[in-house]
Amino acid sequence: MSVKFQEDVTKSIRKDTKELAHKVGERLTGGDTQTGYLALYLRQLQSNPLRTKMLTSGLLSGLQEVLASWIANDVSKHGHYFSARVPKMTLYGMFISAPLGHLLVGILQKVFAGRTSLKAKILQILASNLIVSPIQNAVYLTSMAIIAGARTFHQVRATVKAGFMPVMKVSWITSPLALAFAQKFLPEHTWVPFFNIIGFFIGTYVNTHTKKKRLEALRKSPANTQQRYDQRRGPGSEYEKGGDYR
C-alpha cells in the first residue's frame, strides 16, 4: 500500500514539475509553443532568413555600442551614451555582418550537409576557424576602422594588422565551443543568430575594455585632456584627432 502511494506521489510530482516547466517556457517566450514570441521569431527565421538575421544583427550591434559606453562610462559631449557610432554599428550589423554570416555559414552548412560523423563535425569546426572566422574578422576590423574615421588604405591596413591576431585568438577559443554546441543542440537555421548573440557578449566585453583603456589614457594626458575628449566625441574623425581608433 505504502509503495503504491509513494509511486502515485512521485508521478504527481513529475507531472506538476513538467507543467511548471511548460508554464515557465510560455512566460519566457511570450506564449505557448505555437504563438510565443520565440516561436514567432523562429518562424520568421525560416520564412525570411536574411531579413530576420539582418534585423537581429543590427539591433545587437547598436545595443552593444550603447551597453559598452554605459559600462565604461564613456559619455558623449552631450552627456549621454548615444554617440554617432551607434547608428553606424547598427548599419554594419544589418548590411555587412548579417549578410556575410548568412553567406559563409550557409556555405559551410551545405558542404557538410548530411554528414553527422565525429570526423565531419571536427572538419566543420576546423573549416569554420581557418576559413570563415578569418574572413569575418578581417571584414569586422576593416569596418571598425572606417567607422572610427579611417579614410586611407594605410589606416585601414594598420587597424587590421594590429587587431587581427588578438581577435583570431578570441575566435579560436570561443568558436569551437559555440559551433560544437550548435551542432549538438540547434537547428541549422538558428546558427547565425546564435553566433550573433555569442558575438554580442564578446564584442561588448572587448568594446568596453577598449573604451576604458582610451579613457584612462586621456586622463593621463596633459591638462587639455577634457577639451580633447570633448572634441573627440564630437563630429569628425578619431584619426584626425589623434585618438586610439581601435
86 within domain boundaries: yes
56 within domain boundaries: yes
Beta carbons within 10 angstroms of residue 136's beta carbon: 22
227 and 121 inside one domain: yes
26 and 81 inside one domain: no
70 and 7 inside one domain: no
Q: End-to-end CA distance of the chain: give it in Å, rounded.
A: 73
Tally of domains in the chain? 2
17 and 112 inside one domain: no
- Alpha carbon distance 40, 31 (integer Å): 10
The pLDDT value recorded for residue 18 is 55
- Alpha carbon distance 61, 50 (integer Å): 16
Alpha helices (runs of H) in 220-240, residue ranges in sequence order:
225-233
26 and 140 inside one domain: no
- Separation of CA 90 from chain center: 12
Cβ partners under 8 Å of residue 194, min gap 6:
178, 182, 186
Contact 34, 25 (CB under 8 A): no
Residue type, 139: V
192 within domain boundaries: yes
94 and 212 inside one domain: yes
68 and 142 inside one domain: yes
Contact 67, 83 (CB under 8 A): no
- Alpha carbon distance 83, 75 (integer Å): 8
The pLDDT value recorded for residue 59 is 97
Q: Range of 19's domain?
A: 1-35
User: 3-class SS at 127?
Assistant: helix
244 within domain boundaries: no
**Phi-psi domain of 30 (left: phi exceeds 0; alpha: psi -120 through 50; beta: other):** left
10 and 59 inside one domain: no
User: 3-class SS at 113?
Assistant: coil
16 and 80 inside one domain: no
The pLDDT value recorded for residue 66 is 95
41 within domain boundaries: no
246 within domain boundaries: no
- Alpha carbon distance 127, 160 (integer Å): 21
Strands (E), 41-173: none
105 within domain boundaries: yes
118 and 62 inside one domain: yes
182 and 229 inside one domain: yes
241 closest CA partner among 224, 144, 11: 224
What are phi and psi for residue 29, nearest 5 degrees?
A: -100, -5
* Element of type H or E holding 135: helix 133-148
76 within domain boundaries: yes
60 and 114 inside one domain: yes
97 closest CA partner among 165, 199, 206: 199
pLDDT digit of tens for each residue in the chain (246 aa)?
555 555 554 555 556 655 655 555 455 444 454 557 888 998 999 999 999 999 999 999 999 999 999 999 988 878 889 999 999 999 999 999 999 999 999 999 999 999 989 999 999 999 999 999 999 999 999 999 899 889 999 999 998 999 999 999 999 999 999 999 999 999 998 999 999 999 999 989 988 988 898 888 888 876 554 555 554 444 445 555 554 444
